[in-house]
Amino acid sequence: MSETIPIASDHAGVEMKNRLVAELKKLGYNPNDIGANDPDQPDDYPDYAHPLAKEVSDGQAKRGILYAPDYVAHAGGVINVYGEVAGWDAQRALNKADDIYDTVLKVFDIADAKHIPTYEAADRLAEQWLAEAK
């Protein structure tokens, strides 16, 4: 029997999620597409994130795939490059990259509380941090 992997995104990640579902099937996995399914329908991200997390935490699946805004998910590379330019040692860059997990949780919390897509929540958090840095 093939491994079932739950997969979810908000409406902004539907196209990429659908491509990954097709690839997982080709590789012999059984993707469980939790949603979203309509890229033109704004939605509430936690409606998909929570069921995915429950499947994994309840042991129904060993792992899952949850799309987050790309500039949050790829922040580690940006942190590393900035660290090199700023003269940080490797440990400082790693410590800063460790903060990404907490940042993603903040984005999800904002999206949940404001009933907005994660990309909008990520934008709001980034704008807040930029305003505080001035």
Host domain of residue 27: 4-66
To 5 degrees, how large is the angle CA 112–CA 46–CA 126?
50
CATH of the domain at 19: 3.40.1400.10
Reply yes or no on whether the pLDDT at 21 is more than 90.
yes
* pTM for the structure as a whole: 0.59
DSSP state of 11: G
Instruction: Give the C-alpha distances (Å, rounded to integers) separating 35 from 102, 123, 129.
Output: 24, 22, 30
Q: How many structural domains are present in the chain?
A: 2
pLDDT of res. 61: 94
Q: Residues 59-112: pLDDT tens digits?
A: 999 999 988 766 666 788 888 888 999 999 989 988 988 888 888 888 888 888
Same domain, 52 and 17: yes
Higher pLDDT, 79 or 7: 7
3-state secondary structure (DSSP) of residue 67: coil
Same domain, 79 and 122: yes
